Structure 1
């Protein structure tokens, strides 16, 4: 258990997106956190409740502009700053905050990829603080909890990589323990609700385009592919040189993510009781729920919660792993708060014991 009396002051940079409002929703329940700053260039001066009526009587904050003076003030007064911003913003401001002793959690992509070449290739810009990037800890608590507890800077994982890495972690562990259980290329067939595209006005994500439709995107390459590969090969220390085929899809729902992972098995892998293996792997993880044999997950079962649910189907030489999460909670803001709780020694469940909503 963490220190229930400790209080921290928090700033949120980029508060008008869906992850920003999720952060506010979750942190409003947190007894140890005071959100003091909330930035938005476009909405500076407006009350949060004007943009998000759901937060009426919950938050009295007003948006403030992202000025140098504000960052100087946050460096002096904040214990932690969240960045819920497009790539390129966090790496501009994180160095001065970290150097001032402020912890940083970036919900964007600036600190996820450790390869400078991969970052430049997928995000179209040169990384401005490679020395800080090298210190960043990948914020997947079920994998990196001990490192997170000591970190000054957290790279909050992408939504798709969270499902893929946690879905495949027991397989990687089995490969290291038993040797040669995977036979060939791993296929990740993933679907996400439209909120994963962010809160923006684009024709491709308008209601008329998305409703009654189902489409693939990023088929020839998606920026989460190198993040998944890094997660498996470096963070989980995979011992097999297998390649990943990742294809994301957009489905006509607001929030939710469903990743179906197909893993071809060797003779050794076919003999593993994968249901028991997965259950054992996550038996002490509150936010990862391995379903009983024969029970399949759906996105509604995790909606608005920080739960990630996994089901296993084993057919001879093929293992199918089905993973669901709310892309805005465990896939973004909820995981960021989970990281914060670990960093400051709070009970990991604080403000995150959210019951999924139905319907």
Structure 2
């Protein structure tokens, strides 16, 4: 690194050659002392080796922010895996959302291996960071929190989700270990305290049957519809119509046969993290929310309470069956059944 600065391949943020006489140098030891060695490594592996590299306070802060998101994602997985009993759900019994995540791991495995073979570290880190922030934290984990936190221990959906989080953790930590050795070692030993080191393990072997292009294509359409719904929810939240998305019941009008077919067997309320969701047909109603790049989908957000739904004290979802259980008066039927199971297991 010192050699790179001395020979002028690393510039400051304004594109000027680093020079002691200009006082614009960045001392690696200072970065390590302040932010940790893996922050400096993250900057190195995200640079384009074919261009002059730029480094300064703002560039470092960008990498610190990315690192924090990455670390928080791994920490969330470790918290979830604290409840992992090692049970596996057969692939053909898994919900489609879990199979989609396994498909994405199969795609990423190919990209990661090709990236390492070609020493294209920026390609690897960009793909993995985008996956962890966009597809995991803001999509898969966000959706599955309800199942992980509220479903019964016997729930197949919950078991499949924990299993997939296990696969996600094993793959991501091992893939990132050569580039962020300290952080990934810390995560690995927290999960496997009996292990010697993550750096003694090979990259995981991904089963061929995880790859599922037709499923991925279907879910590209599902996520298009979801994107319109979440956009409408953001507007409703900004307008103070709702607070949490669980307070909403989106009415989704679809005028596209392909999109309608894609979501036909998908619980879109679960995907949008709303208490309910109504599918309508035909042309968009007046004032409905739309997106220019998703034709044929329009959303009007209604309040769950206006539809007579009541908030569950356990899951915070608004349902029509809250209060109907003779023993648990303030929760939904789903949550009442879970509480009975937990009590029978001695966990309540």
Q: TM-score, normalised by structure 1?
A: 0.25
Q: TM-score, normalised by structure 2?
A: 0.26
Asked which structure has the greater RCO (Cα within 8 Å, sep 6+), the reply is 1
Q: Which has the larger radius of gyration?
A: 2
The structure richer in helix per residue is 2
